[in-house]
């Protein structure tokens, strides 16, 4: 009887030990990108260095006077000083959610990267090489600049276009802005692009974009070569 109990106990132990092999598989995490330049920068709480691997869900950030550049597929993300973002995978393509500061991204095609900020999604307009810069001012206001190629800004089911070489304020609470009136909403004396001082489009109260400045074409080209073409290995 004792021997039968011992055999039964051994069999149960063996079956329990083997259960993980036939049950849930061990989760695997695929690297999202690699840090290719870093100064006073972090991935999570750890200091970032050239070659640091970035995974989906990681928080990337920079100190004052810091900067970081991450290569992810056919895109590159540059964080300027005092900036922070969470990187992720969006429908099989790299993305990031900017939560503080300023980020510039370059892409080799329209589906290479998405930059989220508050409720807005900023993407390249076409498959042409594109460079865009987004500054997170607060939860209801962004500054979006199309340095090379056009950008699209989407909030829920509405999309508007930021033409190449222009900079726009994106107001995510247009009802509040309308109550204040359009004057002083960014048109000012800087001379908005294409000669329009008012909003580009009010939309269905999803958001409002206001021209702030025209960016010289050379600025986008210089930024492009500083980031390097994402098409290059």
Contacts of range 87-91, beta carbons closer than 8 Å, 24 or more positions apart: 87/32, 87/33, 87/54, 87/55, 87/56, 87/57, 87/58, 87/60, 88/32, 88/56, 88/57, 89/32, 89/56, 90/114
pLDDT at 200: 47
The CA distance from 10 to 17, in Å, is: 11
CA angle 148, 78, 136 (to 5 degrees): 85
* Domain 31-227 annotated CATH 2.60.120.1440: yes
pLDDT at 226: 53
pLDDT at 211: 79
pLDDT at 210: 83
The CA distance from 45 to 146, in Å, is: 32
The tens place of each residue's pLDDT in the chain, 233 residues long, gives 545 454 444 444 434 344 444 333 334 478 899 999 999 999 999 999 999 999 999 999 999 999 999 999 999 999 999 999 999 998 889 999 999 999 999 999 999 999 999 999 999 999 999 999 999 999 999 999 999 999 999 998 899 999 999 999 999 876 655 444 444 434 343 333 344 444 545 445 567 878 776 765 544 444 444 555 444 44
- For the chain, give the number of residues: 233
Residue with tokens 């909403």: 185
The CA distance from 74 to 86, in Å, is: 18
The CA distance from 37 to 48, in Å, is: 9
In the DSSP assignment, the letter for residue 128 is S
pLDDT at 28: 47
Residues β-bridged to residue 65: none
CA dihedral of 132, 136, 140, 141, whole degrees rounded to 10: -60
Residue 134: which of 104, 93, 158 has the closest Cα?
104
pLDDT at 78: 97
Q: Are 177 and 205 in contact (CB under 8 A)?
A: no
The CA distance from 218 to 86, in Å, is: 30
């Amino acid at each position: 009887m004792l021997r039968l109990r011992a055999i039964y106990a051994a069999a149960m132990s063996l079956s329990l030990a083997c259960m993980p092999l036939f049950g849930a598989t061990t989760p695997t995490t695929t690297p999202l990108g690699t840090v290719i330049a870093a100064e006073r920068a972090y991935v999570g709480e750890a200091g970032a260095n050239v070659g640091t691997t970035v995974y989906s869900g990681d928080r990337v950030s920079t100190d004052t006077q810091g900067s970081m550049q991450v290569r992810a597929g056919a895109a590159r993300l540059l964080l300027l000083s005092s900036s922070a973002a969470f990187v992720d995978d969006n429908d099989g393509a790299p993305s990031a959610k900017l939560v503080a500061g300023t980020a510039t991204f370059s892409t080799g095609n329209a589906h290479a990267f998405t930059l989220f900020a508050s409720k807005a999604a900023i993407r390249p307009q076409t498959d042409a090489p594109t460079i865009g810069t987004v500054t997170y001012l607060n939860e209801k206001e962004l500054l979006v600049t199309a340095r090379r190629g056009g950008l699209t800004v989407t909030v829920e089911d509405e999309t508007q276009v930021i033409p190449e070489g222009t900079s726009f304020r994106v107001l995510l609470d247009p009802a509040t802005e309308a109550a204040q009136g359009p004057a002083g909403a960014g048109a000012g004396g800087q001379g908005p692009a294409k000669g329009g001082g008012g909003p580009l489009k009010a939309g269905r109260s999803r958001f409002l974009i206001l021209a702030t400045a025209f960016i010289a074409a050379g600025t986008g080209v210089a930024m492009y070569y500083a980031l390097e073409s994402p098409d290059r290995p």
